[in-house]
Amino acid sequence: MAVESTHAAVEHPAIDTEGRELLVELVSIPSVSGEETEAAEALAAFFEAHDREVWIDDIGNVRAPGDDTVLLTSHIDTVPGEIPVEIKDGDDGPELWGRGSVDATGSLASMAIAAVETGASFVGVVGEESTSRGAWYLTDHHEAPDLIINGEPSGWDGITLGYRGLVEGTYVAASESGHHSRPDLNAIQQGMSWWDRVEAIFEPDEWVPVFEQVTTKPVDIEGGVSVDGLSMEATMEFQLRVPPERTPDEVRELSDAELEIGTVNWTESIPPVMTNPRTELARVFRAAIRAGGGDPRLLRKTGTSDMNVFATEWNCEMVSYGPGDSSLDHTPNEHLPLDAFDNAIDVLIDVCERCGVDDDVASDGAASGDSEAATNAEAAK
């Protein structure tokens, strides 16, 4: 599965390890959600070069089965935004700039290296930045592993234990057209009024951590006179983030109760997740980070990730981990210190070894819990 990239290679003396080469290669390939194929092929070629069984499944995930004591998984896709891929000198040494360097190609590449070094199972999933379609597909076609390490930026010395959930919806309203001087509310005003009431229900409390609150965010609004000129129309897409203390159903019901005019089509619902810091996996991570010279940090994220999906479908220990400062996610200043990337690889290898991952298992992909492994192995003959 040799893949020849059409993107110019970045050359710099700091790109001096196989891990850094893979990182730069993947960041150099645009992989916005829905357009992950070239990056997936490059990632699969890396595993093939290391004599690992690998294939790209029907949804686009890169699957490299191994020892399912630990499943290493991160997402291939990024959000849109072109950032020139280059190495710059930073306060902590050379840094790789480029879209996805932090969220989450740094995690993806570090996990790929750790997987070939230890024999752990690996999946690079698609669509995390949109609908998590890759993660949902994986849970339908793979038995639960013993442990999951989900790749997202936490800093090489941090582990993420929790994420808020998400509900998404689209508000739609229409009103009879009329002169703008009329006092009655039109569809646009009705939508604004409903949203004001929703925000009032979940009014921010400065004394409560954001992670423990519902936050509201409109993400797209359209409105105006209809094409036939007979009505005024309004459409608003929005997101509500759900803390572990609430459920998506509760948040939907409270929002629906404020409707007077219009309807809401609820399009996405992902429950929150909060794992126990005293699990064996969390303990092993703390030990590995200390062994690498770090002071372990336990994090809760206000966003949502594929870990929410895995926690919903699989009953096993899990954390999220990866190099990079998550405050740079989706920003025009996204960059990753290369030393932090190296440290994350060392921690991941240490964790896998402490958890008892067996490199010999990786030589027999059909021995994994993968329902597609035998079929794909046969097709490759």
Whether the link from the prior residue into 9 is cis, omega within 30° of 0, is: no
Contact 345, 107 (CB under 8 A): no
Q: Is 245 a catalytic residue?
A: no
Catalytic residue from among 67, 128, 317, 350: 128
- Cα angle value 343/281/110 (rounded, 5°): 30
Contact 170, 236 (CB under 8 A): yes
Angle separating helix axes 18-27 and 338-354, nearest 10 degrees: 120
Distance CA 35, CA 46 (A): 19
Ligand-binding site membership of 330 (annotated) = yes
List CB contacts of 258: < 8 A, sequence separation 6 or more. 194, 197, 198, 201
Q: How far is CA 260 from the centre of its chain?
A: 36
H/E stretch holding 30: none
Strands 93-97 vs 335-337: parallel, antiparallel or unpaired: antiparallel
Ligand-binding site membership of 53 (annotated) = no
For 307, the token pair is: 């870990």
β-sheet bridge partners, residue 194:
none
Give the count of alpha carbons within 13 A of 376, CB side only.
20
Ligand-binding site membership of 103 (annotated) = yes
List CB contacts of 290: < 8 A, sequence separation 6 or more. 296
Question: In which residue are the tokens 């998984």 written?
Answer: 73
Catalytic residue from among 25, 36, 67, 77: 77
Nearest to 271 by CA among 136, 139, 166: 166
Q: Look at the alpha carbons of 375, 307, 351, 103 in this order and tell me if their dihedral is positive or negative.
A: positive
Question: In which residue are the tokens 């699990």 written?
Answer: 279
Q: Look at the alpha carbons of 181, 182, 186, 190 in this order and tell me if their dihedral is positive or negative.
A: positive
The values of phi and psi at residue 377, to 5°, are -65, -40
Q: Is 128 a catalytic residue?
A: yes
Show binding-site residues for Zn(2+).
75, 103, 129, 152, 330
Show binding-site residues.
75, 103, 129, 152, 330
Active site residues: 77, 128
